[in-house]
Amino acid sequence: MRLRKVFGALVVLGALGGCSKIPGSCEQDSDCGLNQFCHSQENQCFDSRYTGLSIEIPVEHTVVGAGPVTVRAHLEVNPVARPVYPSQLSFTAKRVSDGTTTELTQQSAENGTYTAVWTPPTEEGEYILQATSPEAAGLSASVQVTVDRTAPSLVVQVPGAQSTVPADGFSYTDPKATTPAWRRDQTVTVRVESDSKDLDPASVHVVVRGYKGGTDVTDLALTPVTPCTKTYCGTVEVPLWRPGLPDFRGNFLIEVTANDVVGNVRQSSTPIPVTRWKWAFDGASGAIRVTPAIGDKGTIYFGTSDANGKVFALEPNGTKKWEKQLGSVLGSPTVGKNPDGTDRLYVAPGSGTLATVYALDANGTTLAICPVPGAQAGIVTSALAITHQYLKSQNATFETAISSHNPDDGAFLFFRPDLPSTSPIQCTGRGNPFTEPQGASIVIQGNDYFFSAPRSTNPTAWNYRFNPELETFELPQTYDYLSMGAPLTGMGLAEGGTLVAAGGLRSSTGTVRGGILAMYQVPSTGSSYKWQFPSDPTGSEPVRNMVIGAGNVVIFGRDLPEGAAELTAINLMAPSDEAAVRATAPNAGSFPGAPVLGASSTLYAASFTGPEAGLGEVSAWSASDLKLRWKLSDSVGPAEASPSLDCTRATDGTPASASHGVLYVPSLDGRLYAFVVDSPGLDTSAPWPKYQHDARNTGNPETPITNCR
């Protein structure tokens, strides 16, 4: 019995002994010592949960630049250990040259991958980036990198503008430009070079900054070029009409940026001096008192006014095509067409009180004259006009130039050069009731011809109507504007056929009157509705001419002997003076001539007065609100006649596809000025965008406004 009890106790003790842990065995990591882990299959504690630490990026011997560098390290866990990772690694950057060490701030930790961001210092050289895990038995990893903070070299070369030697009456250099300047209608080739071997060619980028906040150009591309003695050479074509230029002259800034392979960025910039000055021509034969007419290929025709005055034909590029000494030209010429489509110029030079109308071909050869030699006609001081008359006797339609001659033998002449010189109707006349020069030039609508009484008489518009069946003129109809109390000096036709006139008076006693008048319908039958602005023109400075924009917006300046008056834009037929005024620009200048409405909603004006005696001004304005865009005040003569506007031309005279054009300004100093402007010709949406309607000066709405097609 006692033996059985002893044996039972031994069995119990043996069972209890089998339940105790075997040394090194485990169920979980907490059963193991520091830095040990519990083997997931053998349930034994093992050392080294982590098998390695590596830096994945950057790799050894990487070259880094100035930008932030991501340092990414990865801690490898033993495959049989549970994936438990410490929350932090220690990141440092040490400069090799002196051991200076910087601690980096860890940015993220996920599944054994850790990141930190290092901003390389300004000191270039070798650096060691190190990651250490204090919880992983001091595992660490490092890479050596090179810091390169030097941006690639860039040299931007803008060639100097070449000065053209004055020749044959032309000057091509802006007289007030402080350095030789490129013209706004030119293209300049800019060269970019770099001798940095680590330059990234794909990163080279060009921006051309507009002047004074003007529009920037950002879409230009560099083209690699050879030969090249540098690591990189490229050129870019800069069209100087594209950047914004809210002035007559200024400096664009070409900025070139590029980076090397590690992101160091270099920017280099160089100014490009630019001017709107294209050329000036001095005919050395008197003041220019007429508006130039523009031919089909852009030829500019005009005359000068001294006793030995000449007629000139100039090419748009600034060369003289021909000149012809015919006498004083006081009335603006007009351009028609020969049967072969080439230009036919009508001009009426004179001497003393007599004048002759010439029809000249595009080369200056005389085709016909009117009246015939030996006959007489008075001087022509207003613009010639062109229409196309059907003659029943010929059963054909003929181009007909119309001129008004005063004071001696006052007459209207109708000149048809396509008829033979022996024909009695090649040059015919109609009595002119006035013996003084008329106030406004002839304007035409169909078979109706409108002109005004002389400046010294009442404000009256006259209308001759041509009867093609009888080949005669009906008795003239007159439309008086006595309420204006001043003679009419300019006329035009608005939308709907409204005849619009400008009037003005400055008497020897100091009385001034001036404004805009309108007749409701043209041709008028019986009574007509009349309108004027201002309703009382007394005290308003004279208005000599005007332009009419889309929607019948009339824009005009005022004529002062000195000083400056406003430009005004009004709504035609508005019910009151207050409702009429759309915009005004005070102190804009003195304007004996009409402004010009250009495409791109820009108005151009030439002033008789300027900042000092002997100078005038040329200005550009927003046509919608008369905000000034630019003004030239230091190098243009006073203007009495209206300017002309044309598009840019190719070398053969055909219109070029471009966003710019050329403004031609005649001056009393005897020069014709050509300026590059930001309108590719006249505003074709306007019913009367310039003096005498169109580029050819025909005074006829049936003529296309522009030769630019």
The token duo for 172 is 């091509």
- Residues 268, 402, single domain; the answer is no
Q: What are phi and psi of 8, to 5 degrees?
A: -65, -40
Tell me, yes or no, whether 347 and 438 share the same domain. yes
Could you list the residue range(s) of the whole structural domain that residue 192 is in?
Answer: 155-275
**Both structure tokens of 126:** 């070798």
Helix or strand or coil: residue 12?
Answer: helix
417 and 466 both lie in a single domain: yes
Cα 374 to Cα 62, 355, 371, distances in angstroms: 97, 12, 8
How is residue 201 annotated by DSSP?
G
Same domain, 246 and 351: no
Position 8 scores a pLDDT of 42
Does the model's pTM come out above 0.85? yes
Q: Under a CB-based contact definition with an 8 Å cutoff, are residues 288 and 301 in contact?
A: no
Residues 6+ apart with CB under 8 A from 99: none
Residue 15 lies in a domain: no
Return the pLDDT at 455: 60
- Cα atoms in the 13 Å half-sphere on the side-chain side of 402: 27
Phi–psi pair at 17, nearest 5 degrees: -65, -35
* Residue 270 shares a structural domain with residue 350: no
CA-based angle 370:285:303, to the nearest 5? 40
In a domain, 556, yes or no: yes
Q: Structure tokens of 315?
A: 């090419």
Q: Which of 147, 168, 196 is the last residue of a domain?
A: 147
Q: What is the pLDDT of residues 598-634, one digit of tens each?
A: 999 999 999 999 999 999 999 999 999 999 999 999 9
Is the residue at 699 inside a domain?
A: no
Give residue 405's pLDDT: 83
Please indicate, yes or no, whether residues 504 and 607 belong to a single structural domain of this protein: yes
pLDDT value at residue 458: 64
Task: Find the CATH number of the domain harbouring 288.
Answer: 2.130.10.10
**What's the pLDDT score for residue 520?**
58
Alpha-carbon Rg for the chain, nearest whole angstrom, is: 43
**Residues 230/193, Cβ–Cβ less than 8 Å:** yes
Number of domains making up the chain: 3
CB 349 within 8 A of CB 311: yes
Structure tokens at 215: 């529009």
Residue type, 133: S
Residues 138, 165 within the same domain: no
For residue 183, tell me if it sits in a domain. Answer: yes
pLDDT at position 11? 37
Angle formed at CA 352 by CA 350 and CA 357, multiple of 5 degrees: 20
CATH number for 179: 2.60.40.10
Backbone angles phi, psi at 551, to 5 degrees: 75, 15
Same domain, yes or no: 336 and 433? yes
Q: Is residue 427 part of a domain?
A: yes
Q: Per the domain annotation, does 668 fall within a domain?
A: yes
- Residues 246, 101 within the same domain: no
SS3 (DSSP) at 212: helix
Tokens read off for 111: 């599944």
Instruction: Examine the fold and report which residue of 217, 246, 275 is the final residue of a domain before the chain moves on.
Output: 275
Are residue 192 and residue 129 in the same domain, yes or no?
no
289 conformational bin, left if phi > 0, alpha if psi -120 to 50, beta if neither: alpha
The reply to whether 297 and 217 lie within a common domain is no
Question: Do residue 167 and residue 313 come from a single domain?
Answer: no
Domain membership of residue 708 (yes or no) is no
* Domain-embedded: residue 682: no
- Which pair of tokens denotes residue 259? 């980076």
Cβ 399 vs Cβ 380: under 8 Å: no
The secondary structure element, H or E, covering residue 14 is helix 2-18
Segment 122-152, tens digit of pLDDT:
999 999 999 999 877 779 999 999 999 999 9
Low-confidence ranges of the chain (pLDDT < 50): 1-20, 522, 524, 526-527
